[in-house]
Amino acid sequence: MISTRLARWLAGRDIHYGWVVAATTFLTMLATAGAMGSAGVLIEPLQKEFGWEISEISSAMAVRLVLFGLLGPFAAAFMNHFGIRKVVCTALLLIVGGIIGSCFMTETWQLVLLWGVVLGIGTGMTALVLGATVATRWFSHRRGLVVGLMTASNATGQLVFLPLLAALTEVYGWRTAMVFVVTIIVAAMVLVVLLMRDYPADIGLAPYGETTINPPPPSTTQLSSLLLSPLAALRDASSSSTFWVLFLTFFVCGLSTNGLIQTHWISICGDFGLAAVGAAGMLAVIGVFDFVGTILAGWLSDRYDNRWLLFWFYGLRGLSLVYLSYSGFSIYELSVFAIFYGLDWVATVPPTVKLAAERFGREKANLTFGWIFAGHQLGAATAAYGAGALRTDFETYMPALQIAGVMCMIAALSVLLLSRRQPVTQPA
């Protein structure tokens, strides 16, 4: 296989093949994140072509965001049972099928089915759990760096594609923009087929930073047991007040980012006369500063009390949203918002992961965080639909921005309800 020959060639140059798998995963998550973010350029074209209400279009986006979050805890079970490559290829095929099918839709129920259900399942199977699984299996050293890069690719990819997609939509129509997204997804699928392997032992390697080659675990666990394991983790975690604080604050995180700004940004700016291409370019600026902010947040989370980091991250994000609602949406004011808000876009992720690991232990942290991330996407879905409904009723997005800002400030105060630290006793 190509992967085996490439691994040998890289080994001769003292380069671990895990970096190839990480790069392939990075590009795959970047591509699927672009598919997630492309929804932002569809609202106005679909409204003009079919006469659909923004609230109707937003309902499909809300379904997609809910499934994107709820599939996270179960995606790991599928990867353990079927293998990373098979699961990722299946997910990419679902995304491609959903986008291609949407080019022929004429009814809102088709939008909900294709962009809500099909794309929600496909993108949910390639969410943050994919990056966490690859980092855990392939890396012993530099694992934190790899997780940080995967998180940044998922968040930033949802933003950086928008200027190009908005330009294609404006010049050639939204269907051409969707064809471009399909091309990117297919290219990522080719890389996955050629280069992705499930375990380092599949090509005779130990994880990066180790010398012992451990054979892949036998696939003897029944699928039903794997599917029940996330539910068991939810049952155990739900008895803890820490879980609910993290779940509800992450709900606000999704409500104030993916659901509101990512989904409705172009429409928000359009109300003030800013063209779609210009609005998407500003969103790309948010994405660039998000990349910096995510890496910085990871560095800070290793050095400071994560409760206070979340307090400041949520509080400052809330202030930025309130500021935006009272601004005049000039280029200067939008630039200030893009820089300030961009640094804080997903800065809440590293501290939240660290707190989950401290409170619930390393063995349960991944599954527990999967459910906390589900809360994030439920918040995103609430804002995706709610902001559209408010825009339809009040003919402005400003109430949605103000509500999200106030919710962020409440989340900032809620984090302080957590005790300083409750160490988990690990088995010997």
Kindly compute the dihedral angle of the four CA atoms of residues 31, 32, 34, 40, in this order, to the nearest 10 degrees: 170
Q: Is the pLDDT score of 288 beyond 90?
A: no
More confident residue, 38 or 156: 38
Nearest-5° Cα angle at 200, 199 to 205: 160
Q: Between 61 and 257, where is the model more confident?
A: 257
Within 10 angstroms of residue 217's Cβ, the number of other Cβ atoms is 10
In the structure encoding, which two tokens stand for residue 259, read together? 């659901």
Residue 124's pLDDT is what?
A: 84
pLDDT in tens, 150-193: 777 766 666 667 777 888 888 888 899 899 989 999 999 999 99
Using an 8 Å Cβ cutoff, are 157 and 34 in contact? yes
Residue 274 predicted with pLDDT over 90: no
Listed by start position, the domains of the chain span 10-196+229-415
Sign of CA dihedral 26, 31, 36, 40: positive
Contact (CB, 8 A) for 154 and 131: yes
pLDDT above 90 as % of the chain: 24
The gap from C-alpha 120 to its chain's centroid, in whole angstroms, comes to: 12
| Residues with Cβ within 8 Å of residue 288, at least 6 apart in sequence | 156, 160, 342
CA 312 – CA 281 distance, rounded (Å): 27
Q: Determine the 3-state secondary structure of 220 from DSSP.
A: coil
Instruction: Tell me which range, 4-18, 107-121, 147-161, 211-225, is most confidently predicted by mean pLDDT.
Output: 107-121
Copy the structure tokens of residue 322: 């309130």
Mean pLDDT, residues 385-413 taken together: 92
Residue bearing tokens 């795959």: 28
Q: Contact at 8 Å (CB) between 63 and 120?
A: yes
The length of the chain in residues reads 428
Which residues are CB-contacts of 147 (< 8 A; sequence separation ≥ 6)?
A: 131, 132, 135, 353
* Percent of the chain's residues with pLDDT above 70: 91
Tokens at 83, concatenated: 């293998």
CA pair distance 328, 345, nearest whole angstrom? 22
- 128-138 and 72-82 are packed helices; what angle lies between their axes, rounded to 10 degrees? 40
Report how far residue 259's alpha carbon sits from residue 268's, in angstroms, rounded to the nearest whole number.
13
Give the up-direction half-sphere exposure of residue 4: CA atoms within 13 A in the CB hemisphere: 5
- From the number of C-beta atoms within 10 Å of its C-beta (0-12, 13-18, 19+), residue 120 rates as buried
Classify domain 10-196+229-415 at the CATH superfamily level: MFS general substrate transporter like domains (1.20.1250.20)
Side chain identity at residue 58, one-letter code: S
- Phi and psi angles of residue 223, each rounded to the nearest 5 degrees, phi first: -60, -35
Give mean pLDDT, residues 345-351: 81
Structure tokens given for 321: 């949203």
* Identity of the highest mean pLDDT range in 32-46, 203-217, 290-304, 381-395: 381-395
Residue 69 reports pLDDT greater than 90: no
Contacts of 356 (CB under 8 A, 6+ apart): 246, 365, 368, 369, 372
